[in-house]
Amino acid sequence: MTLTVNLPDVLGYVSGDERLDLGVIQAAATCLPSAVKAGKNFRLVVIVQNMADVPVNMLVTLGLPADAAGKKNKFSANTQRIEVGMQPAEVGMILLPINSMGDTAPGEVKFSVSISDVKATARGGRIRSSEGGSALYLDGLRPEKRKLVDNFAKQKFVGGKKGLFGGATLMPPMTFQAGRVSEPSNLKAEYHTIWLREDMREDPLKLLDRFKTTLTQYVLTSLDRTLMLAPLVKKTATRFKQAGYELTDVEAKLIGRAMTNVLEYACTGRLSHGRSYTPRQEYQVLPIIERPIRVKFEIKLRWLIELLNALVIDVQLPKNVWRLALQDSFYDALLRDTLTWGLNIVEEATGLDLGMPEELEQHADQWFEKFHKMVNGRPGAEALTIEDVYLPLVMAGIAVYDKLALPGEDIKVFNPLFRGMLGKRASERTDDNSPLFDITETMLSKILGDDKIITARPSTAEQSAQPQSQAQSNTRTYHISPSKVKTREADIKAIRDFFDRPVSQMWVYDPYLLDYERLFNRLGAYIQLAFDRGGLKSVHVQTRDAQIARKDRDAQVAEKDREEQLQAVAALENRFQSIKLEVNYPKDGKGQHDRFIEITRVDGSTARLLIGRGLDFIRADGSVQQTYLVIEEL
């Protein structure tokens, strides 16, 4: 067999380089545990490594010896022979349960397991050297597989030599201690996969250096919409269906375009070849390639790591880069990268403040874990909802769809799809996710040229001219444009409308009320609006402890932040002495992520004001940042 590629030597890592070499396969064996009391059962474990790029079949036979005193029939097994079929390049384990009698003599016994009739099912090439293969990159293994191989590596394995007629025998030892009672089991022989070719991972920095020319000359220049968009859209529809949430055609197209946008950042700079994309440094690849490999650094682009490992496996990949989109591992890695990017894009497009960078990463991790559990059908997996799919993926796609036009494509073909898009999800609308629908409608209305949804609160005349369902709506969405004109909360009509009737109680949720400016000035302005109407009795605030929220700072600086926060609360209490002011700080330091105010009016009605960017969308200098305000009559 010709060596076409040298895949990792999983067997060598596990067995400490002990091996039986049968050409197309290699194997090693051990007994687990290595010592038991007489009467106990145990397992003889054989690790087998396929050295070829074709399937291999074999027959494995267990031999039961006499005990240390030479007495026979002291051991039994429900299965003494098992036929095993292995996939190309696979590494697996054969588990052979063995029972011992209670009167088995103490001492060491060597069991035998023979491997015969080893046959490749087709002609193929060798993908591991006769020495076993390349070094196993442990950090590339999934946690559960890393734990498995590390546990095996702690055991003592034995190898062997090939027999005269092609078969071979492994003879792992087992030590027996004195015992009394026999405890036979009904376990039968089993075969389990440890490693497959798709698990192939190497040190990404070494791969980056190895494939530098391939990347710059062939691969990265092909990662654009003309090759990648169509397969990504198709894979998106398939993958989300596997996750239990079937997308509409336009939703799949929007998510596919968002993912393609992330890929196309790799084509910016010197690799753009005349195309013009807005650079986004953290998603570009050329700066990573140009860094000296002797300087250790982390490659943060998950899709790039998957691409590098795919190049090891598929030598034809540079000519068929589009095939990447069809691979689950690459698609999922790109999806995860798109989540973080999408959250930032949605913030920029809508004015929503979705959190600090570390919170966005945490949210993306939680989203992806939920998605993966559904795809893999894990017990207790939580179903995806429209909130999961739209924020950020579909909304990010809406924000950038027109920047991803294909050659000759009329981007206006999306308009009729946009008009009916949310109508198909009407049955999923609830009171809790209503703001998501409102904000998405606003984004779509800006594209379609319908400004009604994003104007301020309509007049009575305008209400009578609107469809009855819209006139009677309990939810109103307001778009607040950025402005450098000095502005107060009382200058914004939407906020004045929210406090247009006397308020008796007020609840405020914003995890970023951490300093004097946000507490005394920004929060104080909302309390003042309610106070001026008369009737306000209490204000309840939930935010984060500044010292915990800023724990990544110097300890003394974080402590001063906390002091400033407490001083601001005291100043508010002094400012509104007739009101009960209660401020709570969740012990975990996280608090409610959404920024909103709920009120109970003197007349008993209740309402909620959602503030996309938080209370500090008006800055200390009076300038205004773009955001959305959503008023819900509860």
How do beta strands 580-584 and 538-542 pair? Answer: parallel
- 126: in domain: yes
- Give the Cα separation of 135 and 151 in Å (integer): 18
- Give the Cα separation of 412 and 423 in Å (integer): 19
Question: Per residue in 416-453, pLDDT tens?
Answer: 888 888 888 988 888 777 778 888 888 888 787 753 33
- Give the Cα separation of 630 and 478 in Å (integer): 6
Structural tokens at position 231: 């397969």
Q: Check residue 52 and report its DSSP letter.
A: B
- 1: in domain: no
- Residue 15 sits in the same domain as residue 157: yes
- 50: in domain: yes
pLDDT tops 60 at residue 177: yes
- Residue 168 sits in the same domain as residue 211: no
What does the mean pLDDT of the chain come to?
Answer: 85
- Residue 160 sits in the same domain as residue 228: no
- Residue 208 sits in the same domain as residue 180: no
Provide the CATH number for the domain around residue 596. 3.30.870.30
Question: Per residue in 64-87, pLDDT tens?
Answer: 999 999 999 999 999 999 999 999
pLDDT at 268: 63
Confidence of residue 314 (pLDDT cuts 50, 70, 90): confident
- 445: in domain: no
Average pLDDT over residues 113-130: 90
- Residue 283 sits in the same domain as residue 158: no
Residue 283 φ/ψ, nearest 5 degrees: -110, 0
At residue 112, the 3 state secondary structure works out as strand
- 221: in domain: yes
Confidence of residue 276 (pLDDT cuts 50, 70, 90): low
Question: Per residue in 578-617, pLDDT tens?
Answer: 999 999 988 754 445 568 999 999 999 999 998 887 888 8
Q: Which of residues 535 and 168 earns the better pLDDT score?
A: 535
CA 408 to chain centroid: 35
- Residue 189 sits in the same domain as residue 321: no
- Residue 479 sits in the same domain as residue 423: no
- Residue 478 sits in the same domain as residue 615: yes
Q: How many CB atoms lie within 10 A of CB 578?
A: 7
Q: Which residues pair with 158 in a beta bridge?
A: 29
- Give the Cα separation of 619 and 522 in Å (integer): 9
Question: Per residue in 393-419, pLDDT tens?
Answer: 999 999 998 888 888 888 888 888 888
Last residue of a domain, one of 382, 417, 435: 435
- Residue 503 sits in the same domain as residue 394: no
pLDDT at 220: 84
Provide the CATH number for the domain around residue 149. 2.60.40.10
Angle ∠(420,425,431) on CA atoms, nearest 5: 125
Q: Which of residues 194 and 316 earns the better pLDDT score?
A: 194
How do beta strands 25-32 and 75-76 pair? Answer: unpaired
pLDDT at 295: 67
Confidence of residue 362 (pLDDT cuts 50, 70, 90): confident
Confidence of residue 378 (pLDDT cuts 50, 70, 90): confident
pLDDT tops 80 at residue 136: yes
Average pLDDT over residues 195-207: 83
pLDDT at 467: 33
Last residue of a domain, one of 199, 227, 249: 199
pLDDT at 351: 74
- Lowest-pLDDT range, 104-113, 287-296, 549-558? 549-558
pLDDT at 415: 85
Confidence of residue 199 (pLDDT cuts 50, 70, 90): confident
pLDDT tops 90 at residue 186: no
| Order of strands across the sheet that contains 168-170 | 81-86, 56-63, 112-120, 168-170
- Give the Cα separation of 507 and 538 in Å (integer): 9
pLDDT at 451: 39
- Residue 490 sits in the same domain as residue 427: no
Q: How many CB atoms lie within 10 A of CB 452?
A: 11
- Residue 583 sits in the same domain as residue 610: yes
Last residue of a domain, one of 199, 220, 252: 199
Residues 6+ apart with CB under 8 A from 404: 225, 229, 257, 260, 261, 264
Confidence of residue 477 (pLDDT cuts 50, 70, 90): confident
Question: Per residue in 20-35, pLDDT tens?
Answer: 999 899 999 999 999 9
**What percent of the chain is modeled with pLDDT above 70?**
90
- 466: in domain: no
- 448: in domain: no
Residue 537's domain comprises 474-633
pTM, full prediction:
0.62
| Order of strands across the sheet that contains 173-177 | 35-37, 173-177, 107-110
Residue 299 φ/ψ, nearest 5 degrees: -85, 115
Number of domains in the chain: 3
- Residue 359 sits in the same domain as residue 421: yes
Query: How does DSSP assign 119-139, residue by residue?
Result: EESS---B-S-TT--BPP-GG
How do beta strands 75-76 and 112-120 pair? Answer: unpaired
- 461: in domain: no
